[in-house]
Amino acid sequence: MDLLNTLVDKGLRRELPTREEALAVLATSDEDLLDVVAAAGKVRRQWFGRRVKLNYLVNLKSGLCPEDCSYCSQRLGSKAEILKYTWLKPEDASKAAAAGVAGGAKRVCLVASGRGPTDRDVDRVSKTIEAIKEQNEGVEVCACLGLLSAGQADRLRDAGADAYNHNLNTSEGTYGEITTTHTYADRVDTVQQAQAAGLSACSGLIAGMGESDEDLVDVVFALRELDPDSVPVNFLIPFEGTPLAKEWNLTPQRALRILAMVRFVCPDVEVRLAGGREVHLRTLQPLALHLANSIFLGDYLTSEGQAGKADLEMIADAGFEVEGAGTTTLPEHRTDVAAAGCGSHASAGCGSHESSGCGSHGGGCGPCGASEEPSVPGEPSVPEARTDLVAVRRRGAGTDLAPNA
Ligand code: SF4
């Protein structure tokens, strides 16, 4: 296919595809899916080989958020029966982080619900970062605390944070439909503050909220422009009790096409397969490793992932290897930019915020419901509501039970 040859050439040269080419990837048929995965896989291997970076989420503060992000189980008015707790003590957060590191994670992502941290919250998180770094030599720490105020990114960097995550989530044009309590511009500003402080920026998206192909291309092009080091790709987990509970818009094939498009547009950044992978990719998860070079190990913020052991087995069975602590994630040309002090790209990729805890919507096509009809060979698959695959997290941080790692 000419389209795929062009996209591979551009990806290997780090050249931006056109919007039409990105849209064309999303419009490919299920019949062409393996060709699309193979093409984007060439770009992935050029910049990241067969390495998979593991990241581990620690939800420092769960639920009770005053913001109204409609995809999020922790939002104002959420009826989702998630764990709710306030700030974990540094020693408890460090214990949870250690479980992830023991499972093979080289990055720990410290996430807290809320609009943004107070200066006292930054002090708290600074102590947690210090405790984690003291007990886990060489581990990268990414903070994800919401909108930052002046000076807070510098303080986090001084405390030892390597990265900061704040996702754009969706296109500028539809942002107001999913959240009213803050703006798209607020989010861009926080990512830029993190970059200016020398933190490695992590910013990504949530697909499946009812957005159009154009919206997806808009947000991914906006991310390329913003130039984070890592781009988490979340697939909406439609939590019961949130406004987007009925938005089951994704098939495994669609999720793969979205990941391929992200890889073609952002060829040399850490593309992270984030929340919703088990729910939406299901048995096709291993194919996604040909597109993303990074995943979360174990559980998400408010939902459970597959067993950490199953993550490791999947990576090995698919012919990939877990990236070791001594390996630099990003290609040399990106780390050189960081070393030259160009304002961002301090270390490697990043963690994700809304990965699981938060999930969902957009405009959309209304409830999709589970299809009872058998699929007809050759016809595009229809999204299914797989509520059976959504499990609220009941273990790890904030509980007495051992974490999944
Ligand atoms: S995404 Fe973050 S800011 Fe928005 S409701 Fe969820 S926890 Fe709050």
Give the pLDDT confidence of 104-155 residue by residue, as tens digits: 999 999 999 999 999 999 999 999 999 999 999 999 999 999 999 999 999 9
**Residue 133 burial (10 A CB sphere; 0-12, 13-18, 19+):** buried
- For residue 177 and ligand 1, the question of a CB distance below 6 A is answered with no
- For residue 69 and ligand 1, the question of a CB distance below 6 A is answered with yes
Taken in order 404, 61, 219, 192, the sign of the CA dihedral is: negative
CATH number for position 284: 3.20.20.70
Paired sense of beta strands 51-61 and 107-112, if any: parallel
| pLDDT at residue 11 is higher than 90 | yes
Q: Helices H, strands E: what count in the chain?
A: 14, 10
Report pTM: 0.90
How big is the CA angle at 200 (ends 194 and 204), to the nearest 5 degrees?
85
Residue among 65, 175, 205, 242 whose CB has most ligand 1 atoms within 8 A, to mutate: 65
Please indicate if the annotation marks 272 as binding a ligand: yes
Please indicate if the annotation marks 368 as binding a ligand: no
Residue 401 lies in a domain: no
Span 15-20, mean pLDDT?
98
Q: Which of 43, 9, 38, 18 is nearest to 267 (CA)?
A: 43
Q: What share of the chain is helix, strand, coil (3-state, %, to 5)?
A: 40, 15, 50
Span 23-35, mean pLDDT?
97
Token pair listed for 306: 């597959």
Residue 117 lies in a domain: yes
What number of residues does the chain have?
405
Which pLDDT score is estimated for 382? 83
Atom of ligand 1 nearest to the CA of 73: 6
Rounded to the nearest integer, the mean pLDDT of the chain is 90
Residue 376 lies in a domain: no
Q: Which of 285, 303, 269, 281 is nearest to 404 (CA)?
A: 303
| pLDDT at residue 301 is higher than 80 | yes
Alpha-helical (H) ranges within 13-110 are: 19-26, 33-48, 90-102
CA of residue 173 to ligand 1 center, whole Å: 19
Residue 140 lies in a domain: yes
CA of residue 327 to ligand 1 center, whole Å: 33
Alpha-helical (H) ranges within 266-317 are: 277-280, 285-288, 308-317
pLDDT grade for 273, boundaries at 50, 70 and 90: very high
Span 324-337, mean pLDDT?
89
Which pLDDT score is estimated for 325? 85
Residue 266 in contact with residue 231, Cβ under 8 Å?
A: yes
**Residue 32 burial (10 A CB sphere; 0-12, 13-18, 19+):** middle
pLDDT grade for 219, boundaries at 50, 70 and 90: very high
Residue 400 lies in a domain: no
Residue 124 lies in a domain: yes
- For residue 211 and ligand 1, the question of a CB distance below 6 A is answered with no
Q: Which residue has the tokens 């602590």?
A: 325
Span 198-226, mean pLDDT?
98
Domain that holds residue 14: 2-324+332-366+385-389
**Residue 245 burial (10 A CB sphere; 0-12, 13-18, 19+):** buried
The catalytic residues are 65, 69, 72, 109, 142, 202, 272
Please indicate if the annotation marks 266 as binding a ligand: no
Which pLDDT score is estimated for 372? 39
Q: Which residue has the tokens 């913001």?
A: 67
Alpha-helical (H) ranges within 197-250 are: 213-226
Q: Which of 5, 219, 236, 200 is nearest to 109 (CA)?
A: 200
Residue 323 in contact with residue 52, Cβ under 8 Å?
A: yes
Which H or E run contains 175?
Answer: helix 175-178
Residue 398 lies in a domain: no
Please indicate if the annotation marks 72 as binding a ligand: yes
Q: Which of 235, 237, 199 is nearest to 349 (CA)?
A: 199
| pLDDT at residue 326 is higher than 90 | no
Q: How many domains does the chain have?
A: 1
Span 313-334, mean pLDDT?
95
User: Please, which residues bridge with residue 143 across strands?
Assistant: 110, 164
- For residue 215 and ligand 1, the question of a CB distance below 6 A is answered with no
b/e sequence 279-313, b meaning 16+ C-beta within 10 Å: bbbeebbebbbbbbbbbbbbbbbbbbbbebeebbe
User: Please, which residues bridge with residue 201 across strands?
Assistant: 164
Protein residue with least CA distance to atom 7, ligand 1:
113
- For residue 146 and ligand 1, the question of a CB distance below 6 A is answered with yes
Which pLDDT score is estimated for 381? 75
Please indicate if the annotation marks 109 as binding a ligand: yes
Which pLDDT score is estimated for 338? 61
pLDDT grade for 376, boundaries at 50, 70 and 90: low
Residue 297 lies in a domain: yes
pLDDT-above-70 percentage for the chain: 89
CA of residue 70 to ligand 1 center, whole Å: 9
- Give per-residue pLDDT as tens, 172-188: 999 999 999 999 999 99
Which H or E run contains 253?
Answer: helix 252-265
- For residue 113 and ligand 1, the question of a CB distance below 6 A is answered with yes
SS3 222: helix
Which pLDDT score is estimated for 336? 76
